[in-house]
Amino acid sequence: MKKIVITGASSGFGRALAQIFSDKNIDIINISKSSSEFCNTNILVDFNKLTKLNEILKKNQDLLKNIDLIILNAGELGKIELSLDTSINRFLKSINVNLLSNKIIIDFFLNSQKKPCKFIAISSGAALKPYSGWLKYCVTKGALNQMISCYANENPSHFFLSLAPGLIKTNMQHNISKENKIKFPDLKKFDDLFETMDTPQERAKLFFKYLNYLLSKSSGTFFDLREVD
């Protein structure tokens, strides 16, 4: 593996992935809102601006050739709030960032790459289970899983995987710890587990260790990295 794309490689799990791939002398392209010091190339874009994302990908088409792996990591939890309080505008933003931006990126590479593509989309256990306050996240991650399955079904020469990386001690978890657990009781379990969560670096090492195993899974499936932990 010589050249990969990671979306959202400037923070959290994406940044840790970039660091570990960089240590292996792999050429990394970051597509994100901000730069990553571990990436050879940074393509900056707001994933909520879908038309702009498509334009920037086409503009950088020469840089985005001969990619061995695309890790669709960028995403947002969004404001933690009851479903009834979730505005359509906030919901649409999460749909754009967590789902439709990934479709644009997948379509770009399927249309521009000559060799078969490998996509790993970073999903979540929340794709399979509802959590109070997480309407936007649960819905968009669940839809992401289905989208990956549909692309795999229609494009058998390419590889697609939805991957739940497990609980990671990131800013997302710090923000969850500040929420009212009486109002959002499902989130209390994350407080209880916080001290035992892996750091992004620890989880990225596990991802890299089992990467060949992940790429051997049936295309289009959902896999939880905790199964090998």
47 within domain boundaries: yes
- State the residue range of the domain holding 11: 3-169+199-227
pLDDT at 229 over 80: no
190 within domain boundaries: no
175 within domain boundaries: no
pLDDT at 31 over 90: yes
Residue 227 is predicted with a pLDDT of 94
189 within domain boundaries: no
**Over the chain, what is the mean pLDDT?**
95
Could you tell me the pLDDT band of residue 194, with boundaries at 50, 70 and 90? confident
Distances (CA, A) of 156 to 117, 123, 159, 207, 221: 10, 21, 7, 24, 13
Residue 181 is predicted with a pLDDT of 82
Could you tell me the pLDDT band of residue 170, with boundaries at 50, 70 and 90? confident
191 within domain boundaries: no
215 within domain boundaries: yes
More confident residue, 190 or 149: 149
12 within domain boundaries: yes
109 within domain boundaries: yes
Give the total number of structural domains in the chain.
1
In the numeric block, which tokens belong to residue 36? 């990553």
59-83, pLDDT tens digit by residue?
999 999 999 999 999 999 999 999 9
**Strand residues in 53-123 grouped as ranges (E):** 69-72, 118-122
CATH number at 222 reads: 3.40.50.720
> Average pLDDT of 6-20?
97
Please count the other Cβ atoms lying within 10 Å of the Cβ belonging to residue 34: 11
CA–CA gap between residue 151 and residue 14 (Å, rounded): 23
- Of the candidates 52, 45, 51, 53, the residue with the CA atom closest to the CA atom of residue 8: 45
Residue 226 is predicted with a pLDDT of 94
Cβ pair 60, 39 in contact under 8 A: no
CA–CA gap between residue 127 and residue 144 (Å, rounded): 8
